[in-house]
């Protein structure tokens, strides 16, 4: 797949449906969706909303009852599922490392199945361990049980990336990791994604994680209803309905501050001619980070792209276009 | 005569019967292994049949061994064949049950990960499920073997081979000078065979289980 | 059989619960029908007389009941004592010896006792008790040890005395595992009691051994069938009792 002609759309779901025998309702109602190449899409919703089922239908671990799945311009609804999965990275919450195999062997499994030679595989293992921040010399020969939860999931990500698949499916990969390590893993993973630019479909029930990681977020409601599929910024400033509003919870306006950048907001805010020392920031920095610096350094004026803006104007310009009567 | 001089005097016969006993046990366990693994493999997709077979072989285990040995006489006569057959019947359950327990005990997330990376069912079985279930399966073989070593003694009651002969010969000479020594040598030799086999199983377990499973 | 299981009886399906007693009834009916209809010579008809069969069966049942009662009376208190904290240094060697005893053939114990001490009912009971002690001892200890420490902690936290803790919390929670051990002991005893014929203690083994010695297959077959029927019946009764006596909610 990686060598097929590049198309704008990486995943195209057409009326994909799942119904289990002897059940009255669809586990996943007919769903259509398009995910672009290099996009980081997060499926989020309460438990039982069908988001994991949806994810597992993309690599056909769960076979859809109806509908079509297109990946990289190819209809894969009826191709050999094993062959399909070898070209899609898959990361799950419980990691699922083979406990009887060393870290290196775990990572080499897919390259082995694809017939890579030993030298190429070994080189790839070291490259991937470096990529996920584990020193190859130290970790290559270790067994999963000798690793911490965070280290195990790093290996899990390396294993999914082994054959350089264009697409990664991740099912709550950081859900079982303690909050501090999770935060670090998320940051590292975002930095990693900057470099490798995979198409990622990521499932979580944590809206904060979704807002932090996703280019676009699909919010599912109970009964697998797709309530909204949009950028974090749009979701925070224009929630589609009451479900989305209650799901993103309180302080949507505050959360918005970490989603919008000072560059765009400063463009909307009035310039000030008040004298005083300004804090300068890069246009692509999120408003929340810049505000934090202003508060700690006690500056009331921000300078970005040659324009001077007052803190209060920056704040209201950030959240000013919200349409949320509640 | 004390026990030790009795044993050294009759060492040749005791060791001969011991080897017979060992062969008997190994053949029975091997047959039972083939039968058990066959049953488990054949019922891979038939969980109800598998449960029924397991409970049936489990019930066979409650049959008193003397009755089972004797019951085979009208069909197979006295001697080696009914002994091996009866011991095989007893050894099936521990092996089959542990194989099932071992395979079912494999962490589902590991299987999910294996499927998710595109491993075929055969590859999953040989690369993931069997290696992970192996310690439990091996323990089933161990339990079956130790059990069969002790049970095989009763085979002598139907003229079967093995160390049971010493026990029954001792019994038949009750009151005689060496009756106790003879029976005791049989009992001790059986315990020694069991202990040696147990140690061999521990060694096999150490050698064939991935280091990753016991760190 | 020398099978020692720590695991408990699995819950059978409502329908299959009656398969075992059905087989027992069929076996006994087949034996009765066979004896009534077959042409038997004098040795056979003497061995298969109703009074003789009833006597052998009663001897067998008596051996099993007496030895099981004794082994429970010995094994359960001993297991409780060994499960206490202060006994933790004695526990491993005792369990080691008990486990090693499992490798000794039952017929060996029976015969050694007969040669060294004497034959008959009492000696047979001693042998049965020695052989069935392990499952009861081990399951009592395991049952008590697997009680959730958090439950014990909570009970002590509310001020239960050690004796009350044992009676009200630990023992009730250990009962299922202990009952499984008693069931295994019962089944072992039915099997080993078959061998009591070799030391003149009677039982259904007499029919089997008599059939082999006199080369009378009908006697042997009846002996085997009745032994198997008894074993299945005891297993079924024990399993039923195990389910009935286990505290609800476990």
**Tell me: the pLDDT tens digits for C140-151?**
998 999 999 899
Between β-strands A301-304 and A199-204, what pairing exists: parallel, antiparallel or unpaired? unpaired
pLDDT at C98: 76
Between β-strands A66-71 and A216-221, what pairing exists: parallel, antiparallel or unpaired? unpaired
pLDDT at C47: 82
Closest CA to C209 of B70, B4, B179: B70
Query: 């590859």: which residue's tokens?
Result: B123
Q: What is the DSSP letter of B158?
A: G
pLDDT at A322: 67
CA–CA dist A187, A182 (Å, integer): 9
Judging by beta carbons within 10 Å of its beta carbon (0-12, 13-18, 19+), is residue A21 exposed, middle or buried? exposed
Between β-strands A9-18 and A28-36, what pairing exists: parallel, antiparallel or unpaired? antiparallel
Residue C197 lies in a domain: yes
| A and B touching (3 or more beta-carbon pairs closer than 8 Å) | yes
Residue C108 lies in a domain: yes
Q: Is pLDDT above 60 for A224?
A: yes
Judging by beta carbons within 10 Å of its beta carbon (0-12, 13-18, 19+), is residue C51 exposed, middle or buried? exposed
Residue C250 lies in a domain: no
* Residues on chain C touching B167 (C-beta within 8 angstroms): 105, 107-108, 111
Of A273 and A34, the one with more pLDDT: A34
pLDDT at A44: 96
Q: Is pLDDT above 80 for A107?
A: yes
Cβ of C228 under 8 Å from any chain B Cβ?
Answer: yes
**Tell me: the pLDDT tens digits for C24-77?**
889 888 888 888 888 888 888 888 888 999 999 999 999 999 999 999 999 999
Give B104→chain A minimum CA distance, Å: 16
* Residues on chain B touching A160 (C-beta within 8 angstroms): 117
pLDDT at A2: 44
Chain B contacts in chain A segment 89-118 (CB below 8 A) = 90, 92-102, 109-110, 113
Chain C contacts in chain B segment 40-99 (CB below 8 A) = 52, 55, 59, 61-68, 70-71, 73-74, 90, 93-94
Chain C contacts in chain B segment 103-142 (CB below 8 A) = none
pLDDT at C13: 54
Q: What is the DSSP letter of B45?
A: T
Give B81→chain A minimum CA distance, Å: 41
Q: What is the DSSP letter of B125?
A: I
pLDDT at C250: 66
**Tell me: the pLDDT tens digits for A138-185?**
999 999 999 999 999 999 999 999 999 999 999 999 998 998 989 999
pLDDT at A168: 96
CA–CA dist A111, A192 (Å, integer): 21
In chain A, what are the domain boundaries? 9-251, 255-319
Residue C112 lies in a domain: yes
Q: Is pLDDT above 60 for A283?
A: yes
Residue C1 lies in a domain: no
Alpha-carbon torsion C184, C186, C187, C188, what sign? positive
% of chain C residues with pLDDT over 90: 46
Count of B–C CB contacts within 8 Å?
141
Task: State the average pLDDT over residues A237-264.
Answer: 88
Give this complex's ipTM.
0.86
CA–CA dist C112, B202 (Å, integer): 30
Beta carbons within 8 Å of A270's beta carbon, 6+ residues apart: A309, A313
Residue in C with minimal Cα distance to B192? C103
Give B114→chain C minimum CA distance, Å: 31
Interchain CB distance below 8 Å, C115 and B186: no
Q: Is pLDDT above 90 for A40?
A: yes
pLDDT band at residue C15 using 50, 70 and 90 as cut-offs: low
- CB A241, CB A320: distance < 8 Å: no
Mean residue pLDDT across chain C: 87
Residue in A with minimal Cα distance to B120? A82
Of A109, A145, A159, the CB nearest to B215: A145
Residue A280: strand, helix, or coil: strand
* Architecture of the domain defined by A9-251: 3-Layer(aba) Sandwich (3.40)
Q: Is pLDDT above 50 for C4?
A: no
C117 alpha carbon, distance to own chain's centre: 24
Interchain CB distance below 8 Å, B66 and C104: no
* Residues on chain C touching B66 (C-beta within 8 angstroms): 191, 194-195, 205, 208, 227
Low-confidence residues of chain B, pLDDT below 50?
Answer: none
Q: Is pLDDT above 90 for C11?
A: no
pLDDT at C102: 76
- CB C203, CB C197: distance < 8 Å: yes
* Residues on chain B touching A169 (C-beta within 8 angstroms): 116
Cβ of A176 under 8 Å from any chain B Cβ?
Answer: no
CA–CA dist A86, B116 (Å, integer): 8
* Residues on chain B touching A143 (C-beta within 8 angstroms): 210-212, 215
DSSP H or E run through A32: strand A28-36
Radius of gyration of chain C (CA): 21
Buried residues in A162-186 as b, exposed as e (16+ CB within 10 A): bbebbbbbbbbbbbebeeeebeebb
* Torsion angles phi and psi, residue A148, rounded to 5: -75, 170
**Tell me: the pLDDT tens digits for C176-216?**
999 999 999 999 999 999 999 999 888 999 999 999 888 88
Domain containing residue C195: CATH number: 1.10.3720.10
Into how many domains does chain C fold? Answer: 1
**In CATH, what class is B3-213?**
mainly alpha
Which residue out of B212, B214, B215 would a mutagenesis test of the A interface target, given it has the greatest number of A Cβ atoms within 10 Å? B212
Q: Is pLDDT above 90 for C226?
A: yes
Task: State the average pLDDT over residues C91-115.
Answer: 85
Instruction: Say which CATH topology domain A255-319 has.
Output: CBS domain Like (3.90.1280)
State the virtual CA torsion across B72, B78, B79, B83 in degrees, nearest 10.
20
pLDDT band at residue C94 using 50, 70 and 90 as cut-offs: confident
Q: Which domain holds residue C187?
A: 16-245
| A and C touching (3 or more beta-carbon pairs closer than 8 Å) | no
Beta carbons within 8 Å of C192's beta carbon, 6+ residues apart: B64, C106, C110, C127, C128, C131, C132
Q: Is pLDDT above 90 for A12?
A: yes
| C and B touching (3 or more beta-carbon pairs closer than 8 Å) | yes
* Residues on chain C touching B93 (C-beta within 8 angstroms): 3
pLDDT at B132: 95
Which residue out of C115, C186, C215, C216 would a mutagenesis test of the B interface target, given it has the greatest number of B Cβ atoms within 10 Å? C115
């Amino acid at each position: 797949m990686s060598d097929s002609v590049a198309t704008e759309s990486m995943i195209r779901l057409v009326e994909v449906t799942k119904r289990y025998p002897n059940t009255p309702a669809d586990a996943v109602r007919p769903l259509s969706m398009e995910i672009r190449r290099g996009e980081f899409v997060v499926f989020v919703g309460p438990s039982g909303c069908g988001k994991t089922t949806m994810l597992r239908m993309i690599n056909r671990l769960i076979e859809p009852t109806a509908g079509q799945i297109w990946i990289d311009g190819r209809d894969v609804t009826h191709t050999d599922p094993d062959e399909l999965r070898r070209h899609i990275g898959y990361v799950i919450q419980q990691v699922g490392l083979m406990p009887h195999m060393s870290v290196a062997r775990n990572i080499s499994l897919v390259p082995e199945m694809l017939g890579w030679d030993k030298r190429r595989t070994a080189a790839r293992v070291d490259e991937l361990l470096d990529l996920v921040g584990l020193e190859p010399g130290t970790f290559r020969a270790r067994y999963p049980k000798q690793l911490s939860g965070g280290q195990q999931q790093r290996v899990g990500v390396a294993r999914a990336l082994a054959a350089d698949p264009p697409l990664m499916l991740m099912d709550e990969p950081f859900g079982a990791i303690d909050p501090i390590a999770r935060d670090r893993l998320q940051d590292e993973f975002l930095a990693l994604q900057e470099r490798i630019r995979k198409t990622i479909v990521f499932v979580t029930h944590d809206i904060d994680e979704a807002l932090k990681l996703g280019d676009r977020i699909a919010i599912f409601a109970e009964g697998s209803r797709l309530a909204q599929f949009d950028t974090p910024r749009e979701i925070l400033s224009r929630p589609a309905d009451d479900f989305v509003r209650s799901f993103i919870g309180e302080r949507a306006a505050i959360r918005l501050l970490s989603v919008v950048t000072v560059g765009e907001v400063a463009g909307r805010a009035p310039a000030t001619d008040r004298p005083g020392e300004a804090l300068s920031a890069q246009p692509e920095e999120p408003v929340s980070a810049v505000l934090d610096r202003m508060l700690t350094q006690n500056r009331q004026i921000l300078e970005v792209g040659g324009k001077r803006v007052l803190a209060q104007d920056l704040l209201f310009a950030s959240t000013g276009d919200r349409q949320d009567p509640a | 005569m004390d026990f030790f001089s009795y044993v050294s005097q009759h060492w040749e016969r005791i060791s001969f019967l011991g080897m017979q006993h060992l062969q008997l046990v190994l053949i029975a366990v091997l047959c039972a292994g083939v039968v058990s693994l066959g049953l488990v493999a054949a019922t891979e997709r038939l969980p109800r049949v598998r449960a029924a077979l397991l409970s049936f072989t489990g019930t066979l285990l409650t049959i008193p061994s003397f009755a089972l040995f004797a019951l085979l006489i009208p069909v197979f006569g006295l001697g080696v064949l009914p002994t091996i057959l009866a011991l095989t019947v007893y050894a099936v359950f521990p092996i089959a049950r542990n194989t099932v327990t071992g395979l079912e005990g494999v962490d589902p997330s590991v299987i999910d990960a294996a499927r998710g990376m595109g491993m075929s069912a055969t590859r999953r079985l040989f690369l993931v499920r069997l290696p992970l279930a192996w310690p439990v399966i091996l323990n089933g073989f161990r339990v079956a073997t130790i059990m069969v070593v002790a049970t095989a003694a009763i085979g002598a009651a139907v003229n079967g081979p093995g160390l049971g002969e010493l026990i029954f010969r001792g019994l038949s000479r009750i009151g005689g000078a060496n009756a106790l020594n003879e029976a005791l040598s049989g009992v001790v030799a059986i315990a020694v065979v069991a202990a040696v086999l147990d140690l061999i199983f521990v060694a096999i377990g150490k050698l064939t289980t991935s280091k990753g499973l016991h760190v | 059989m020398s099978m020692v299981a720590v695991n408990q009886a699995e819950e059978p399906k409502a329908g299959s619960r009656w398969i075992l007693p059905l087989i027992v009834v069929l076996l006994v009916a087949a034996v009765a029908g066979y004896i009534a209809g077959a042409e038997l010579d004098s040795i056979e008809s003497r061995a298969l007389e109703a009074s003789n069969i009833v006597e052998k069966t009663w001897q067998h049942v008596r051996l099993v009941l007496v030895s099981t009662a004794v082994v429970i009376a010995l094994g359960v208190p001993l297991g409780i004592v060994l499960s206490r904290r202060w006994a933790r240094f004695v526990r491993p060697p005792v369990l080691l010896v008990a486990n090693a005893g499992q490798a000794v053939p039952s017929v060996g114990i029976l015969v050694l006792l007969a040669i060294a001490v004497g034959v008959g009912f009492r000696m047979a009971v001693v042998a049965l008790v020695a052989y069935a002690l392990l499952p009861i001892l081990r399951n009592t200890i395991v049952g008590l040890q697997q009680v959730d420490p958090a439950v014990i902690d909570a009970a002590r936290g509310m001020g239960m005395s050690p004796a009350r803790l044992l009676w009200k919390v630990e023992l009730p929670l250990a009962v299922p595992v202990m009952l499984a051990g008693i069931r295994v002991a019962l089944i072992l005893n039915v099997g080993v009691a078959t061998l009591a014929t070799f030391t003149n203690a009677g039982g259904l083994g007499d029919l089997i051994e008599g059939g082999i010695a006199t080369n009378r297959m009908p006697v042997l077959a009846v002996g085997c069938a009745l032994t198997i029927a008894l074993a299945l019946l005891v297993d079924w009764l024990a399993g039923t009792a195990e389910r009935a006596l286990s505290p609800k909610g476990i």
